Chains A and B, each alone.
Chain A
Amino acid sequence: MSSASDAELAPLIRKLESIATLSDAARHAVCELPMSVRVLEPEHDIARDKEQPAHCCVVLTGWAYRYKLLNEGRRQILSFHVPGDVPDLQSLHLKVMDHSLATLTQCRLGFIPHESLHALCLHFPDAATALWRDTLVDAAIFREWMTGIGRRTAHGRIAHVFCEMYVKLNAVGLAENHRCLWPVTQVNIGDALGLSNVHVNRVMQDLRAQGMIGRQGRELIIHDWDALCALGEFDETYMHLERKAAA
């Protein structure tokens, strides 16, 4: 029943259906979107600050992140993205990139022309609503990060990002039983949460020593979900999930 494009865009469908309801016609139209697929290596820019992209990119596999560069090589990571996300969706209406987007791991990315997304929104209002809702959830996640960076302790910030990414992956069927792939380095975490590498290292040791988290190969294991949520003051309401994908 699945066409090639249907399978390719399955992560996007899962993402949109985790936060909104799509009619069969809209789901079909999303699956039919024209897309050119590229594989990019880790730490490769997808779109740079001040560029004017003519397409949006769907993460099909791998992790990506948004970032800003400051002088003296300082970098602020603004968000992490997983399969199903369209991290440069705002370029559909905001012509100039006001930050950069890069791959964290090797990524398979689908580039959809802006004109095709405009046509989708015009003809399928529930698809437009889903994309709009995605940008609103994106803003809610930024509010949560701002609260964390401004007011949470280093332990709280790191606990919160573990909880958030697990819930995000679980919602699109890429994590379950409190385990998930975790390709984010300590330097990445520091750049995202405004912490030094040394501070991140100490917090990670504390979380492991207290039995909250562990690692098995490339996987993060959350041993004590309730304790981690309490430490990070994590409440998933701001992620506005309507339906989680069957794992």
Chain B
Amino acid sequence: MSLHLKPARIATGRGDEDGRLVFDGERLVAVLVQLSDQYGPDAGKWFFEVGLGWLAGPKHPIFANLGEAQDWITRHLAGHRS
């Protein structure tokens, strides 16, 4: 699996708009948003804003960094590849 990230401004409606589109090959699988200062100890961390396909659902973890986010996404997609 080859994930790659593309920077994007995400319309969260609030200050934290710095985001990454996460692609698995050519397919968009998730959107991550970096949390702003208002989140205290979570400021600067990466919020799993939305997942697509097998990543859709109620789970919205927060990751310390983008590497951790990619590891989690890779793990969750691994069981569902055709």
Binding site for B on A (CB under 8 A): 74, 194, 196, 198-199, 201-202, 205-206
Contact = CB atoms under 8 A, between A and B. Distances in A.
A201 B39 contact: yes
Q: Say what secondary structure dominates the interface of chain B.
A: loop
Contact of A205 (B14, B35, B47, B62): B14
B39 A198 contact: yes
For the complex, would chain A's binding face be called helix, strand, loop or mixed by DSSP majority? helix
A198 B60 contact: yes
Contacts of A206: 13-14
A194 B60 contact: no
B58 A202 contact: no
B74 interface: no
Contact of B14 (A74, A194, A196, A202): A202
Interface in B17-48: 35, 38-39, 47
Given A202-B12, A206-B13, A194 B58 contact: yes
Interface string B58-71: 10101000000000
Nearest to B48: A196
Interface size class of B (residues with CB under 8 A): 10 to 19
A193 to B, nearest CB: 11
A74 B59 CA distance: 9
B62 to A, nearest CB: 7
A202 B39 contact: no
B8 to A, nearest CB: 17
B58 A198 contact: no
10 contacts: A196-B47, A198-B39, A198-B60, A198-B62, A199-B60, A201-B38, A202-B12, A202-B14, A206-B13, A206-B14
A190 to B, nearest CB: 9
Nearest to B62: A198
Nearest to A76: B58
Nearest to B13: A202
Nearest to A72: B59
A67 to B, nearest CB: 15
B11 to A, nearest CB: 11
Interface centre among B13, B39, B62 (most CB of A within 10 A): B13
